[in-house]
């Protein structure tokens, strides 16, 4: 699976594990991005680009540098089309006019670095992989005609970081921009180290820098050196256990290359350093003073890194640079990347290493003060007859900068929720993400509502659905990758949502069918697939067993709800009957006691009724949610298998092509030999690509499953406690009622 097979030139072979990564980011991003820019572009096509370009780059660095300029232009012009990004466009346009002047490079580079830091948060389990993918993209994309695809990639990347570390990344760069005086230590260090080369380089034309293949080479060397050790470290460890130790190692190792880079590359290296500082400053500023310093010294206009700055400064910065919205920031980063081309990788690679550490910490933080609250309220019937539907008020409260305002509400109908799921599922399921499924359509329940009977069961239905939708949406926004999706934001923010179509496919039986189909194909594929990774095999079995148990439990809880309701009804009947008996009783005290008993039983009826409701709401609904979620989990396993299958098929194909070549050699037919060789090259690339895809999907699935389990444990615990509290409360009430009755019974004479 060596990528280097096709390219003899690339000095040190890329570590194997590294290879799949680039696509991960690029691929996933392009999926997202296609909506925005490319419309219905096939993600697969986009995926192909990097692979092809990868080999190109590996063999020759020149195209890279040549290509690097057009993408910048593209990027600069493209964002302009987006209305929301206006300020950012300004920012980008200015430097553009200066035709690749050094400062502009800096500016562009910074975002790039940030972008590379973004995945770290994202990827709990394999941060290194995604992070390292960023550089790869940078290398490849420009080479590949610098068309829409790479651009899109970059656009999307930053999105992921916004989610995880809400305000921090934004503040850092901006603050830097404003504040030319970073840390004093930093400055001194700067003076000592990279002063000379930077100044030289700055005087030079940036275009020269780009033209020089040397630059990219050096960058590559660093990159590889970085990748070699730390990456392997990371990967050799079980991903799930990406604990602090290996990360620390990586962190240290990563520092060295960065330093090297700064010496060699001059201004470019400065840029690289900025990135690390981003990351490092958050955890350990002192470790990387050199990087910070270089940045500030070199680019006064837009040196972007002092972490210690206060929000005030941040605000000012936003004014000056009109970088106020994260979106702009993101664009900037995107823009930065292509222009950075060759050098960028080393930066992001080194930057990515320390990320695992921050990751978990950050995630903890994020969990603690998750700054996005979503509630669904005010279900309202709109329209009449069979065309009627329920509209729900979706209120969002957030401090996340990715949203336009802090609080906003929109009205959505059920099919909008289904539509959202469909969009998300289309985009993310393919990559192995677990997309939370919405509640199922219920024709029965909805018809009742439509018919307009204001009885208990339809009110209960509406409330149940409201709660289910709320949980669904909360799960979506709680998913770091899904929150980044523009469709999610649109769903939460946009006032006039276009009507979702074809949600019928998801309704009730259809949804079940879908899950069943997934199940079938899983079982089919399990036979074929000899699982290389025991983890997946075990997990899948666990998931299947759990699914069965949950279904069983759900039936049991449903029966409990049924029996409890029955008990409530029967208690009510008994209460009435005892009241009658009491009225017939001729002993006054006994008659009184009996009517008191009737009252107690009446309250018990209520109590049982309420308890049945919380059995259903707190317990049964939780189980139903997770039965559906497990369906999604299985679907993500299914994706992995499919990806594996594709890889295997490609391998078989390659094998055949090689055989053909051998035959041709034997038959001595040189005319066809070239064609055969080309075929082999093509299929080799495909095999590499598919294997990378598979590794990427595997990594995602693994990460997602672990995340899912964590969420599940949290969710269950929360709900169980809630449920037990409801039980506790009803027992408390029960005691109260009986204690009040006791003296009445004793008063019977």
Partner 1 sequence: MTSTLDDSEKEKARSVSVDLNNDASLLIDIPDALCERDKVKFTVHTKTTLSSFQKPDFSVPRQHEDFIWLHDTLVETEDYAGLIIPPAPPKPDFESPREKMHKLGEGEATMTKEEYTKMKQELEAEYLAVFKKTVQVHEVFLQRLSSHPILSKDRNFQIFLEYDQDLSVRRKNAKETFGSFFKNMVKSADEVIISGIKEVDDFFEQEKTFLLDYSSKIKDSTARAEKMTRSHKNVADDYIHISATLNSLSVDDNTALKKHLEKFADLFEKLRKVEGRVASDEELKLTELLRYYMLDIQAAKDLLYRRARALADYENSNKALDKARLKSKDITQAEEHQQQCLQKFDKLSESGKRELTSFKGRRVVAFRKNLIEMAELEIKHAKNNMALLQGCIELLKSN
Residues that bind partner 1 (CB under 8 A): 542, 545-546, 549-550, 552-553, 556-557, 559-560, 563-564, 566-567, 570-571, 573-574, 577-578, 580-581, 584-587, 589-590, 593-594, 597, 709-710, 712-713, 716-717, 720-721, 724-725, 727-728, 731-732, 734-735, 738-739, 741-742, 745-746, 748-749
- Quote the distance between the C-alpha of residue 458 and its chain's center: 36
Q: Which is nearer to partner 1, 40 or 749 (CB)?
A: 749
CB of 579 to partner 1, least distance (A): 10
> Would you say 198 and 266 are in contact if contact means Cβ atoms under 8 Å apart?
yes
Minimum distance, C-beta of residue 631 to partner 1, in the bound complex (Å): 17
Q: How far is the CB of 684 from partner 1 (least distance, A)?
A: 40
* Helix locations, 82-147, DSSP H: 86-97, 102-122, 127-143
Task: Report in angstroms how near the CB of residue 547 gets to partner 1 at its nearest.
Answer: 10
Supply φ then ψ for residue 397, to 5 degrees.
-125, 125
Of 282, 287, 293, 283, whose CA–CA distance to 183 is shortest?
293
- Phi/psi-derived region of residue 99, left when phi > 0, alpha when psi is between -120 and 50, beta in every other case: left
CA–CA distance, 112 with 429 (Å, rounded to integer): 27
CA Rg value for the chain: 31
Measured from the CB of residue 22, what is the shortest distance to partner 1 in angstroms? 32
Which CB, 389 or 535, lies closer to partner 1?
A: 535
Written as six digits, the tokens of 425 are 């599922």
Cβ proximity to partner 1: between 120 and 594 the closer is 594
Locus of tokens 């004014």 = 319
CB of 466 or CB of 471, closer to partner 1: 471
**Minimum CB–partner distance for residue 541 and partner 1 (Å):** 9
CB of 287 to partner 1, least distance (A): 33
Residue 10 or 568 having the CB closest to partner 1: 568
- CA torsion, points 684, 687, 693, 697, in degrees to nearest 10? -150
Residue 377 φ/ψ, nearest 5 degrees: -135, 180
Decide whether 83 or 749 has the Cβ nearer to partner 1: 749
Q: In which residue are the tokens 């880079």 written?
A: 261
For CA atoms 266, 271, 274, 275, give the dihedral sign.
negative
Q: To which H or E segment does residue 378 belong? A: strand 372-382
CB contact set of 581 (below 8 Å; sequence gap of 6+): 594
Number of other residues whose CB lies within 10 A of the CB of residue 348: 36
C-beta of 337: minimal distance to partner 1 in Å? 38
Chain-centroid distance of CA 145 in Å reads 28
Return d(Cα 212, Cα 65) in angstroms, integer: 7
Interhelix angle for 244-265 vs 355-368, to 10°? Answer: 120
For CA atoms 400, 406, 407, 410, the dihedral sign is: negative
Which residue number, 504 or 732, has a Cβ lying nearer to partner 1? 732
Q: Which of 102, 271, 336 is nearest to 201 (CA)?
A: 102
Cβ-based nearer residue to partner 1, 114 or 363:
363
Q: How far is the CB of 549 from partner 1 (least distance, A)?
A: 4
What are the E-state strand segments in 574-619? none
Comparison of 281 and 632: residue with beta carbon closer to partner 1: 632
In eight-state DSSP terms, residue 502 is -
Nearest CB to partner 1, comparing residues 571 and 632: 571
Residue nearer to partner 1 on the CB measure, 250 or 633: 633
Tokens 């394999």 correspond to 126
User: Among all chains, which residue has been given the structure tokens 């400062």?
Assistant: 103
Q: From CA 729, how far away is CA 687, in angstroms rounded?
A: 61
Rounded to the nearest whole angstrom, what is the least distance from the CB of residue 719 to partner 1 in the complex?
Answer: 10
Least distance (Å) between residue 632 CB and partner 1 = 17
Q: Measured from the CB of residue 571, what is the shortest distance to partner 1 in angstroms? A: 5
Among residues 617 and 694, whose Cβ is nearest to partner 1? 617
For residue 222, the Cα-to-chain-centroid distance in whole angstroms is 29
């Amino acid at each position: 699976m060596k990528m280097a097979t096709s390219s003899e030139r690339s000095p040190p072979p890329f570590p194997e594990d590294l290879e799949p990564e680039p696509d991960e980011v690029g691929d996933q991003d392009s999926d997202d991005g296609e909506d925005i820019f490319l419309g219905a572009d096939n993600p697969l096509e986009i995926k192909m680009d990097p692979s092809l370009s990868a080999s190109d780059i590996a063999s020759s660095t020149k195209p890279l540098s040549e290509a690097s300029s057009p993408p910048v232009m593209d990027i600069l012009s493209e964002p302009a089309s987006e209305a929301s990004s206006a300020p950012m466009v300004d920012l980008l346009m200015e430097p553009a006019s200066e035709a690749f002047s050094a400062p502009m490079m800096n500016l562009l580079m910074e975002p790039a670095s940030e972008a590379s830091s973004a995945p770290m948060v994202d990827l709990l389990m394999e941060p290194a992989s995604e992070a390292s993918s960023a550089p790869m993209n940078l290398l490849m994309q420009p080479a590949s005609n610098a068309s829409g695809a790479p651009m899109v990639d970059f656009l999307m990347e930053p999105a992921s970081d916004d989610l995880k570390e809400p305000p921090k990344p934004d503040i850092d760069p901006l603050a830097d921009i404003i504040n030319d005086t970073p840390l004093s230590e930093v400055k001194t260090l700067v003076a000592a180290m990279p002063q000379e080369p930077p100044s030289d380089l700055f005087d030079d034309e940036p275009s020269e820098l780009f033209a020089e293949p040397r630059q990219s080479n050096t960058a590559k060397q660093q990159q590889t050196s970085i990748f070699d050790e730390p990456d392997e470290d990371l990967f050799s460890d079980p991903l799930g256990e990406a604990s602090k130790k290996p990360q620390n190692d990586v962190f240290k190792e990563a520092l060295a290359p960065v330093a090297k880079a700064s010496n060699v590359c001059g201004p470019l290296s400065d840029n690289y350093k900025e990135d690390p500082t981003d990351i490092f400053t958050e955890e350990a500023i002192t470790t990387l003073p050199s990087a910070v310093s270089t940045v500030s010294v070199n680019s006064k206009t837009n040196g972007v890194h002092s972490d210690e700055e206060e929000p005030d400064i941040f605000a000012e910065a936003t004014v000056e640079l009109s970088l106020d919205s994260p979106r702009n920031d993101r664009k900037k980063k995107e823009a930065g990347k292509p222009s950075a081309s060759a050098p960028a990788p080393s930066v992001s690679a080194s930057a990515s290493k320390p990320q695992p550490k921050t990751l978990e910490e950050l995630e903890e933080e994020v969990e603690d003060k998750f700054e996005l609250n979503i509630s669904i309220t005010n279900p309202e019937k709109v329209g009449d007859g069979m065309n009627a539907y329920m509209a729900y008020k979706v209120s969002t409260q957030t401090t996340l900068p990715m949203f336009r305002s802090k609080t906003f509400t929109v009205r959505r109908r059920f099919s909008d929720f289904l539509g959202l799921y469909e969009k998300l599922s289309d985009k993310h399921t393919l990559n192995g993400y677990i997309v939370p499924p919405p509640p199922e359509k219920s024709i029965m329940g909805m018809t009742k509502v439509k018919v307009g009977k204001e009885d208990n069961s339809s009110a209960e239905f509406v409330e149940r659905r409201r709660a289910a939708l709320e949980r669904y949406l909360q799960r979506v926004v709680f998913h770091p990758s899904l929150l980044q999706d523009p469709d999610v934001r649109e769903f939460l923010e946009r006032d006039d949502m276009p009507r979702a179509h074809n949600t019928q496919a998801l309704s009730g039986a259809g949804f079940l069918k879908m899950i069943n189909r997934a199940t079938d194909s899983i079982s089919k594929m399990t036979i074929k697939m000899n699982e290389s990774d025991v983890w997946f095999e075990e997990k899948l079995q666990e998931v299947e067993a759990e699914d069965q148990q949950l279904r069983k439990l759900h039936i049991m809880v449903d029966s409990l709800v049924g029996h409890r309701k029955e008990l409530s009804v029967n208690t009510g009947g008994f209460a009435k009957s005892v009241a009658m008996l009491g009225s017939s009783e001729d002993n006054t005290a006994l008659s009184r006691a009996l009517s008191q008993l009737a009252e107690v039983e009446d309250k018990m009826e209520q109590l049982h009724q309420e308890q049945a409701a919380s059995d259903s709401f707190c317990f049964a609904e939780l189980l139903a949610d997770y039965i559906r979620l497990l369906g999604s989990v299985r679907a993500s396993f299914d994706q992995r298998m499919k990806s594996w299958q594709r890889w295997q098929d490609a391998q078989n194909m390659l094998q055949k092509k090689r055989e053909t070549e051998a035959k041709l050699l034997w038959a001595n037919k040189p005319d066809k030999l070239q064609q055969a060789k080309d075929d082999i090259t093509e299929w080799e690339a495909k095999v590499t690509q598919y294997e990378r895809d598979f590794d990427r999907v595997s990594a995602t699935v693994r990460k997602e499953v672990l995340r899912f389990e964590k969420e599940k444990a949290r969710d269950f615990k929360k709900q169980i406690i809630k449920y037990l509290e409801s039980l506790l409360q009803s027992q408390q009430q029960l005691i109260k009622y009986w204690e009040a009755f006791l003296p009445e019974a004793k008063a019977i004479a």
